[in-house]
Amino acid sequence: MSGIFIEALKYAADKHISQRRKGCDMVPYINHPIKVTYILQNTASENDPELLSAAILHDVIEDTCATEAELIEKFGKKVADIVLEVTDDMSLTYDDRKRLQIRKAPTLSDDAKMIKIADKMANIEDILTLPLTWSTHRKKQYCEWAERVVEGCRGINPRLDIAFNELIAKAYKIIDNQH
């Protein structure tokens, strides 16, 4: 495993240290970016250290005090640019951020598109496996929105596209059975 990735993993763990997953207080936040990175390496067979570093860092600007300048200094401009591409503008309302993700998806770089798909997959897996406080309706709404974002990100890594299709089909089946 390359040096840059371990540096990125440690940095992300430090930045997310006091955070827990939304809707499930017992799970440390860092489990989420680890899962995203795991999907890219294991399901999608992606091994580029800069892509995997951006994946482990993908939420640090959005959710912690990390800055673009710090990411450029520590991990280089390419990694920082990918992270920025997948960072929501937190000055917008929740609904606007959700709409913008759908609109922006087709314009993202290949690396950012793959992180987006893996990000949605990690969240859907959490919805299916963690004891979330979410209602069935909210879970289904999340899956429908995730599908629309992923629609604009397909075509880069066929393994990832297939894995997403399988997961979303399974998710609807499980969620529909919860009614």
Using the rule CB under 5 A, is 126 a contact of Zn ion? no
Is 48 annotated in the active site? Answer: no
Closer by beta carbon to Zn ion, 46 or else 59 = 59
Closer by beta carbon to Zn ion, 51 or else 173 = 51
Q: Which of 50, 62, 70, 161 is catalytic?
A: 62
Enumerate residues 11-70 that contact Zn ion by CB under 5 A.
Answer: 59
Is 62 annotated in the active site? Answer: yes
Location of structure tokens 């894995």: 163
Residue 54 Cβ, how far from Zn ion at the closest point, in Å? 12
Q: Name the strand (E) or helix (H) holding 52.
A: helix 49-56
Closer by beta carbon to Zn ion, 138 or else 176 = 138
Question: Using CB under 5 A, which of the segments 70-78, 101-109, 117-125, 167-175 binds Zn ion?
Answer: 117-125
Residue 104 Cβ, how far from Zn ion at the closest point, in Å? 15
DSSP line for 46-91: ---HHHHHHHHTTTHHHHSS--HHHHHHHH-HHHHHHHHHT---TT
Closer by beta carbon to Zn ion, 59 or else 85 = 59
* Cα distances (angstroms) measured from residue 4 to each of 24, 52, 56, 74, 179: 30, 9, 11, 9, 45
Residue 58 Cβ, how far from Zn ion at the closest point, in Å? 6
Q: Which of 107, 120, 109, 127 is nearest to 147 (CA)?
A: 120
Backbone Cα Rg of the chain: 16
Question: Site for Zn ion (CB under 5 A): which residue of 119, 146, 150, 160?
Answer: 119
Q: Which of 63, 85, 119, 126 is catalytic?
A: 63
Cβ neighbours of residue 177 closer than 8 Å, sequence gap 6 or more? none
The alpha carbon of 75 is separated from its chain's Cα centroid by a whole number of angstroms, namely: 19
Catalytic positions are 62-63
Interaction site with Zn ion (CB under 5 A): 59, 119
